[in-house]
Amino acid sequence: MPEHRFRGVDLNSEGHVRLCEALAAADVLFCFEVRTCIPGGDPTICRRLDLLVIGPHSLLNVEVDGARHNRTKKRECDYERDRLLSRHMRTLRFTHEAVLASPEQVVDCIQRELEQDARSLTLQLSRLKDTQGG
């Protein structure tokens, strides 16, 4: 089995490694292989996120889906985790093939989504300020 490592940590696939390298090269703040306790989920289970990308005003869960995600049980677990996470942050999913083909384009997409979230937060705060007479 080939070794897929980023900064000394074993990852699931070459796509995961390439995306981590591209995020690091773009000076994006992120965590990988994040163990997460999600409110509303099974309290005895910590779920693993592929990547947690951190923007100035938002967080994104980024998942790289390989062939194993086509299995029904794995897909059902992913959907359940995404449903629970949707109360707290958005999830972006990319195919392993898309990440391998152009990790830089995937990073561009992630950065656009972070910017969109920041604009949304700014708009919400502005509206809140207006309604409070500030």
* Interval 68-111: pLDDT, tens: 655 667 778 878 888 888 888 889 999 999 999 999 999 999 99
Do residues 19 and 6 touch, judged by C-beta distance below 8 A?
no
CATH assignment of the domain containing 27 = 3.40.960.10
* pLDDT tens per residue across span 3-53: 888 887 788 788 999 999 999 999 999 999 889 888 887 888 888 899 999
Across residues 105-122, what is the average pLDDT?
A: 86
Task: Identify residue 51 by its one-letter amino acid code.
Answer: L
Distance CA 22, CA 109 (A): 12
Whether this prediction's pTM lies above 0.85 is answered by: no
* Number of structural domains the chain divides into: 1
